[in-house]
Amino acid sequence: MGNNRGKFPDFKVLILLFLLLAAGNFLILRSSKTLPIFWFFTPLSGRTVVIDPGHGGIDGGAYHSDGILEKHINLSVALKLKSVLEKNGAKVVLTRAKDESLDYMNNKSKSRHRRDLIARAEIINEVNPDIYLSLHVNAEKSSPATRGPMVFYHTSSPESRRLAELIQARLEEAYYSAGQSVRKRNPLANSTLFLLCNARPPGVIIEMGFMTNADDRRLLRNPDFQNKLANAIALALREYF
Ligand SMILES: [Zn+2]
């Protein structure tokens, strides 16, 4: 039993507030053909995101002598991120959904590595998403203490820079929430990385942590922490849109 009488007015107020917000939202947005009515509640609804899990197949990416390969971490976080973004109403396209390299998709270079990168850029440009995210793990053998996330954007894209800043901050929070102290960084402007130069929509390369740092390596292979990273990126995307 207990005293429930006081709770009903609060509930009604909440319902009323919800209806008012929804109505206001509708009035503001009804002239827009591109934004759905409930944009206020689900900013990712109707957005298209390409997720590019770096490396794959013959190309393991960064590795450690304990057997861990970057390509597996990239794909694992990509699949978790896809699921979170789809629950938020986004349409998600993966450049690869399994352990494969993409060099077979074109014949535009003698270099297998270059063909792989060309394929990724071409998928992004064909899908023409609102944004793309390329997932990677960093490595710095000469400095095993270096750790934490680093996000790269193309120097000439202010939208990519804004996206990079939001993702960088949320990823650092994910590390803090796992009890880790990582150095605060600004995202890095770049004008040489192939994908940043050749993919046309706004987008970023996300180095989620360092393979060469023991703490990062332990976290990056942990499914719970991978979920934290995926949720952090999804939160940044909600802020971006
Ligand atoms: Zn990589």
Ligand 1 centroid, distance to 179 Cα (angstroms): 25
Domain match, 66 and 26 both: no
Domain match, 11 and 112 both: no
Domain match, 122 and 234 both: yes
Ligand 1 centroid, distance to 209 Cα (angstroms): 11
Ligand 1 centroid, distance to 241 Cα (angstroms): 26
Domain match, 27 and 47 both: no
In the three-class reduction of DSSP (H, G, I as helix; E, B as strand; rest coil), residue 27 is classed as helix
Ligand 1 centroid, distance to 235 Cα (angstroms): 23
Domain match, 176 and 109 both: yes
Q: What is the mean predicted confidence (pLDDT) over 175-200?
A: 97
pLDDT confidence of residue 32? 44
The DSSP-derived string for 139-198 is: --TT-TT--S-EEEEETT-HHHHHHHHHHHHHHHHHHHHTT--------EEES--HHHHH
Q: CA 75 to CA 98: how far, in whole Å?
A: 7
Of the candidate ranges 31-35, 67-71, 79-83, 189-193, the one whose mean pLDDT is the lowest = 31-35
Ligand 1 centroid, distance to 135 Cα (angstroms): 7
Domain match, 31 and 52 both: no
Ligand 1 centroid, distance to 207 Cα (angstroms): 7
Ligand 1 centroid, distance to 12 Cα (angstroms): 52
Domain match, 87 and 108 both: yes
Report residue 37's pLDDT band, with 50, 70 and 90 as the boundaries: low
Residue 239, pLDDT above cutoff 90? yes
Ligand 1 centroid, distance to 54 Cα (angstroms): 5
Please check whether residue 52 is in contact with residue 133, taking contact to mean a CB–CB distance below 8 angstroms.
yes
Domain match, 65 and 177 both: yes
pLDDT confidence of residue 118? 98
Domain match, 139 and 79 both: yes
Q: What is the mean predicted confidence (pLDDT) over 7-34?
A: 60
Instruction: Provide the residue range defining the domain that includes 140.
Output: 43-240
Of the candidate ranges 36-40, 49-53, 57-61, the one whose mean pLDDT is the lowest = 36-40
Domain count, the chain: 2
Q: pTM of the prediction?
A: 0.84
Task: State the Cα angle at 195 between 193 and 196, rounded to 5°.
Answer: 65
CB atoms within 10 A of CB 89: 16
Domain match, 24 and 58 both: no
In the three-class reduction of DSSP (H, G, I as helix; E, B as strand; rest coil), residue 93 is classed as strand
Residue 8, pLDDT above cutoff 90? no
Question: Of all residues in the chain, what percent carry a pLDDT higher than 70?
Answer: 87
What pLDDT, in 10s, does the model give residues 59-107? 999 999 999 999 999 999 999 999 999 999 999 999 999 999 999 999 9
Domain match, 31 and 137 both: no
Find the CATH number of the domain harbouring 202: 3.40.630.40
Domain match, 92 and 178 both: yes
Ligand 1 centroid, distance to 63 Cα (angstroms): 10
What pLDDT, in 10s, does the model give residues 132-178? 999 999 999 999 999 999 999 999 999 999 999 999 999 999 999 99
Ligand 1 centroid, distance to 71 Cα (angstroms): 7
